[in-house]
Amino acid sequence: MSILKITGGRRLDGSLRVQGAKNSTLPLLAASVLTEGLSVFRNCPRLTDVAATVRILRHVGCRVYEEGDALYVDASGPISPEVPDALMRQMRSSVIFLGALLSRCGEASLCLPGGCELGPRPVDLHLLALRTLGAEVTEAGGRLCCRAARLKGGRIDLPSPSVGATENAMLAAVLAEGSTVITGAAREPELLDLQDYLRSCGALVTGAGSGVIRICGAEKLRGGEKRILPDRIAAATWLAACAAAGGRVRLYDACPQHMAPVLHALRRMGCAVSTGENLIVLERRGDLLSPGPIVTRPHPGFPTDAQPPLMAASLKAAGTTVMIETVFESRYRHVPALRSMGADISAAGKTAVIRGVKTLHGGDVTASDLRGGAALAIAALSAEGETVLRGMEHVDRGYEDMAEALTALGGEVSLRKE
Ligand code: EPZ
């Protein structure tokens, strides 16, 4: 197991290339099994979740290889409709294979997915979408079995804009007979990546990002290609780190156009934020102010994945910050560890109240999930003394080498094997 050692109290000063987006890469890789050819994904991040998805691809029969920052997936051979439980339980996004395998093989059999514990994470909307397109779905003993000789296009009205259910609906509809319209669809930027890729494979898909997606089913799809968009949550994490510790950071290969609510909050905290094409520069010299109330919402609202990093940046901000988490039921599991470092936070249900403190102190803390781990690293950068951060297996799921990234931004950070 590795641990991260962080010595706080130093202003940041540096620049960093933003990695490819985890939450775009995972559904793209699942989508590649729809095609009867070779797909290439450029700017592919090196993450343990990506490695876990590659294991699923290889298990179902794909040939997968890397060249530089590109990942090649050859799905031209026979594809198996079954994914073993051990592979499914590694992460939540494995559930996207349900729509992809059902579309490609006419059946799919897998268990309920694993992933970050953020409260209940049902799949009822995923199953609603597949059943609407004519799939026969049975759930027994935590296992999902879906069958349909060929799915039939239809109208899928999602009662809430689930990202995963929207992705599963898209993957099920692209090879269905006839047309499909998905209303109430998620509008996250990662869905634009999925639409672009599916189009490069010959699919007829429009409307991603608008809330209403239209798909005309194809007989079959060829291999395609996509350059993966920058990770807006990784970028938000690095900016929050600089807001917390002070200093100046420059992020390139970034996507400011996808980050408006986060940049707005950071400006309210007294940070000077300037943006250019694929570039974000943040400088914090003066006092840190509370960002005011933060309410997480589906895109284009404030992203729930940026809530823990922004909370960590608000710990020493003058004033009181109220956060309301509306997307997940329990996404404050990082609060007790932050309190152990001297933070003044009360959290109950969806609401957390952060009263700014003058100082934080280092400690020995453990990440409980991916973004919670990022919050602890950010708090450590603005704390006095040294912090030992454990549970890096959570952090590695979504950040390419956090030690290297924080060092490039001027942090005093080292990774140790335990
Ligand atoms: C995606 O998860 C992201 N993961 C999450 O990022 C992100 O937090 C989330 O979208 C919201 O933006 C990936 O893209 C791999 P949802 P997903 O379905 O698809 C409820 C990170 O840190 N719901 O939009 O699982 C659900 O319980 C991760 O990178 C149902 O009720 O999210 C939740 O409360 C964490 N029934 C809400 O909707 C369903 O069938 C949003 O979930 C599906 C979801």
- Residue 118 has a pLDDT of 80
**Residue 117 in this model has a pLDDT that exceeds 80:** no
Whether 116 is catalytic is yes
Q: Which residue has a Cα nearest atom 28 of ligand 1?
A: 305
**Residue 76 in this model has a pLDDT that exceeds 80:** yes
Mean confidence (pLDDT) of the chain: 96
Cβ(168) – ligand 1 distance below 6 Å? no
- Distance (angstroms) between ligand 1 centre and the Cα of 155 equals 22
Q: pLDDT confidence of 301, banded at 50, 70, 90?
A: very high
Residue 300: what residue type? Answer: P
Ligand 1 atom closest to the CA of 186, numbered from 1: 24
- Distance (angstroms) between ligand 1 centre and the Cα of 169 equals 14
pLDDT tens-digit series, residues 147-191 = 999 999 999 999 999 999 999 999 999 999 999 999 999 999 999
Residue closest to 316 by CA, chosen among 263, 361, 367? 361
Q: Which residue has a Cα nearest atom 4 of ligand 1?
A: 23
Structure tokens at 320: 């009181």
Q: Which residue has a Cα nearest atom 26 of ligand 1?
A: 121
First to last CA, the chain: 6
Q: pLDDT confidence of 61, banded at 50, 70, 90?
A: very high
- Residue 373 has a pLDDT of 98
Residues 347-373 have a mean pLDDT of: 97
Written in H, E and C, the secondary structure of the chain is: CEEEEEECCCCEEEEEECCECHHHHHHHHHHHHHECCEEEEECCCCCHHHHHHHHHHHHHCCEEEEECCEEEEECCCCCCCECCHHHHCCCHHHHHHHHHHHHHHCEEEEECCCCCCCCCCCCHHHHHHHHHCCCEEEEECCEEEEECCCCECCEEECCCCCHHHHHHHHHHHCCCECEEEEECCCCCCHHHHHHHHHHHCCCEEECCCCCEEEEECCCCECCCEEECCECHHHHHHHHHHHHHHCEEEEEECCCHHHCHHHHHHHHHCCCEEEEECCEEEEEECCCCECCCCEEECCCCCECHHHHHHHHHHHCCCECEEEEECCCCCCCCCCHHHHHHCCCEEEEECCEEEEECCCCCECCEEECCCHHHHHHHHHHHHCCECEEEEECHHHHCCCCCCHHHHHHHCCCEEEEEEC
Our mutation pick for probing the ligand 1 site, out of 53, 121, 126, 192, counting the most ligand atoms within 8 A of Cβ, is 121
CA distance 58 to 97: 13
| 373, 375, 381, 385 alpha-carbon torsion, rounded to 10° | -70
Report strand pairing: 212-216 vs 70-74: unpaired
Q: pLDDT confidence of 418, banded at 50, 70, 90?
A: confident
Residues 81-102 have a mean pLDDT of: 93
- Distance (angstroms) between ligand 1 centre and the Cα of 376 equals 22
- Distance (angstroms) between ligand 1 centre and the Cα of 350 equals 16
Pick the catalytic residue from 116, 146, 201, 255: 116
Cis peptide before 230 (omega within 30 of 0): no
pLDDT tens-digit series, residues 187-238 = 999 999 999 999 999 999 999 999 999 999 999 999 999 999 999 999 999 9
Q: pLDDT confidence of 15, banded at 50, 70, 90?
A: very high
Our mutation pick for probing the ligand 1 site, out of 123, 163, 297, 310, counting the most ligand atoms within 8 A of Cβ, is 163
Ligand 1 atom closest to the CA of 327, numbered from 1: 34
pLDDT above 90 coverage of the chain, percent: 94
